Amino acid sequence: MARTISKDIRLRIYMLFTFIFLVAMAIIVRIGQIQFVQGKYWTEQSKKQSYKYFDVKAIRGNIYSEDHSLLATSVPIYDIYWDSKVVRKKLFFSQIDSLARAYHRIFPDESVKSFRSRMINAFDAKRRYYKIRRRIGYSQMKKVRQLPIFNTGKYKGGIISEKSDYRKRPYKLLAKRTIGNFNSQQNAYVVGLEGAFDQYLKGEDGIRIKQKTAGGWRPMYLFDETIKEPINGMDVISTIDVNLQDVAENSLYKQLMRYHADWGCAILMEVKTGEIKAIANLKADTATDTYYEGFNYAIGYATEPGSTFKLASMIVALHDKKVKPNDIIHTGDGEFTYYGKTIHDSHKGGFGDITATQVLEKSSNVGVMKIILNAYESNPSRFINGIYKLGINKPLGLKIKGEAKPYIKSPEDKTWSKLSLPWMSIGYELQLTPLQILTLYNAVANNGKMVKPSFVTKLFKTGSVTKSFKPEILNPHISDAKTIATVQKMLEGVVQHGTAHILNHSPYPIAGKTGTAQIFKNRYNKRNYQASFVGYFPADNPKYSCIVVVNNPRGQYYASIVAVPVFKNIADKIYATDLNIQIHHKEDTVLESPNSKVGNRNDIASIYRLLDMKLDGKANNANYVYGVADNDTINLYKRKLQFGLMPNVKYMTAKDAIYLLEEMGLKVEISGEGKVVEQSLRAGTKVKKGQVVKLKLRF
């Protein structure tokens, strides 16, 4: 019996050991399978569950104006989070009140009670990634880190800061569309200089690993160093002149507001290099009755240019020797009917018989049509080929994206008709952008050499030039030298005798062409026009070219009234600040001896000496004098003053008048600008200290 029991026990033990052995073998086999067969798979799964690669954003490069004024830069901002689980209860409740009060001093928009309450709720809920504040600056972030609890660091105080960058334009709306911005829908920089030079500006992102917790991905690094360091972007030096850009935008804005236009643009280009010094694009905001940079019309919008295209027609006809400057063109009473369509000149009654030069000066539609029909009616392809040889039928190939394609059709086009040739000759049935038109006129100013418009001169990295952009030639000769010289004279004539004669009083010569085109909206409407002026200056030694376009102005639509004043404001600003232009013209000008306003004798004498003019030596003991020219000599006459009597300060500058009257103990109130034209107290009136004198100034 005992043997049987013993045998039974041994059997059970053997079975148990066998079972344990088999289980152990199964475990070993499974371990081997996991380790050697499925090891790679489970290793990858483990990595996915524990950490993940993240980009370390490179700092985007800056964009500068030509004088290195900052146009766009990346500014760091911070999001602050809090891990409540690492903060001890005793520390939290002993300092939460101090924390709430200190936080309120930094961010007054949130009350002490509100901040304290939400922090206690987050602590009780054991929040691991609780949002404290978003999008704060570096200085604010530093202050937050010094607050009670937070100042104990990430692992005791739970403070977590995440850095990102946002793009800031110090000049705000100035040249906004040209500089460009971030497109959130495309998640990229796609317009302006930001988009064109994105590959240089963005740099190369680095790589770092972040640990995953129950609360999601948080900035707790497995390693203290990055896997790959970011490479910061390059800086871009643009061609934009901030001062001229400001003048262009303000002048355009005022004119658009005055005539309630739909939109407008102005572009200023340097003749020799093609560098764009200013480019303004303003679009009407009907909700606010103001204007903003909503679209780059200068580059991205092609329209029928109208009369500014007549230059191209004249170049082709002159080059082909189909017309001469002094040929008489019969424009009659200003009406011309061709295949049932009548065209009119803007001047009622017409111009009669005028020369080809006057046709362009007076912008005669009839005259241009007759010149082109007489030359190319039997062979319109020759005219179109001549236009194509100018190079204006192709896109400029700008680095800035969004250039609209020019449209200049040929006789093979399905839309070609008997009317196409005459209508194209005056700028209809074709489309060009303002910048494409300006590039043609700039080529004329540049003696026939067409240069590509450019917006950037250099790329910088850590203070060193990494890439320079030289002027690109699109067409070395748009026509022969004789033709170019002829149309240059014609464009000067437009200002001297023609439709832009308002500019003829400038102290520097200007050449250019007006354009007043009907806008096609289902049909040509005499109530909707586009006014433009394009030209260059100084005409005898061109340095800058400029185009101004105003679309659909109300009340007035002639280019000489709507577009020309903007051109003049820009040109005058340049002339006033560019000594090279002034010196060039002073060399060729005989200066008349000028009279002077009343002022301090030493100041007036110094100015005359700088002008190398003779002084008569009189009034040497006088404090205040005025100068009168007598041929090449300046006679200085004393302005008599008697203490206690109101002096005559008429024609003095505000500076001198105020100085003199305040020296006498009088209080001065002024209105207006310029020199004194009226004074509230008559000269010779008795005055006493503290008495108020009102002066009215006018230029």
Per-residue pLDDT tens digits for 479-504: 999 999 999 999 999 999 899 988 98
CATH class of 599-698: alpha beta
Q: Higher-confidence residue: 506 or 393?
A: 393
Query: What is the Cα–Cα distance from 389 to 242, expressed in whole angstroms?
Result: 36
Query: What is the Cα–Cα distance from 418 to 122, expressed in whole angstroms?
Result: 80
Query: Residue 215 — very low, low, confident or very high, per pLDDT cuts 50/70/90?
Result: very low
Q: What is the mean pLDDT of residues 305-316?
A: 97
Q: What is the mean pLDDT of residues 276-281?
A: 96
Tokens 């200290």 sit at which residue?
689
Structure tokens at 357: 């030069």
CATH topology of domain 246-584: Beta-lactamase (3.40.710)
Structure tokens at 596: 């002077």
Please report the pLDDT score of residue 584 as a whole number.
58
The pLDDT tens digits for 595-640 are 655 566 666 676 666 666 666 665 566 666 656 666 667 666 565 5
The pLDDT tens digits for 365-417 are 999 999 999 999 999 999 999 999 999 999 999 999 999 999 999 999 999 99
**Smallest Cα–Cα separation from 298: which of 172, 113, 164, 453?**
453
Is the pLDDT at 138 greater than 90? The verdict is no
Architecture of the domain defined by 54-173+207-236: Alpha-Beta Complex (3.90)
Query: Residue 241 — very low, low, confident or very high, per pLDDT cuts 50/70/90?
Result: very high
Structure tokens at 426: 């005056």
Please report the pLDDT score of residue 299 as a whole number.
96
Structure tokens at 269: 């280009």
Which amino acid is present at 234?
A: M
DSSP state of 34: I
Query: What is the Cα–Cα distance from 358 to 326, expressed in whole angstroms?
Result: 9
Query: What is the Cα–Cα distance from 546 to 441, expressed in whole angstroms?
Result: 9
Burial of 551 per CB tally in 10 Å (0-12, 13-18, 19+): buried
**Smallest Cα–Cα separation from 503: which of 564, 587, 592?**
564
What distance lies between CA 93 and its chain's CA centroid?
54
DSSP state of 36: I
The pLDDT tens digits for 416-432 are 999 999 999 999 999 99
Q: What is the mean pLDDT of residues 575-587?
A: 67
The pLDDT tens digits for 139-167 are 899 999 999 999 998 788 889 888 888 88
Q: Higher-confidence residue: 526 or 655?
A: 655
Query: What is the Cα–Cα distance from 122 to 667, expressed in whole angstroms?
Result: 66
Structure tokens at 534: 């394009």
Domain residue extents for the chain: 2-37, 54-173+207-236, 246-584, 599-698
Percent of the chain exceeding pLDDT 90 equals 51
Which residues are within 8 A (CB) of 378 and not within 5 positions of it... i.e. 6 or more apart? none
DSSP state of 554: S
Q: Which residues of 192-204 are buried (b: 16+ CB within 10 A; e: fewer)?
A: bbbbbbbebbbbe
Structure tokens at 472: 């690109």
The pLDDT tens digits for 435-469 are 999 999 999 999 999 999 999 999 988 778 899 99
Q: What is the mean pLDDT of residues 642-655?
A: 76
Query: What is the Cα–Cα distance from 81 to 520, expressed in whole angstroms?
Result: 58
What distance lies between CA 499 and its chain's CA centroid?
30
**Angle between helix 365-376 and helix 380-390 axes, rounded to 10 deg:** 110
3 state DSSP class of 311: helix
Query: What is the Cα–Cα distance from 129 to 508, expressed in whole angstroms?
Result: 68
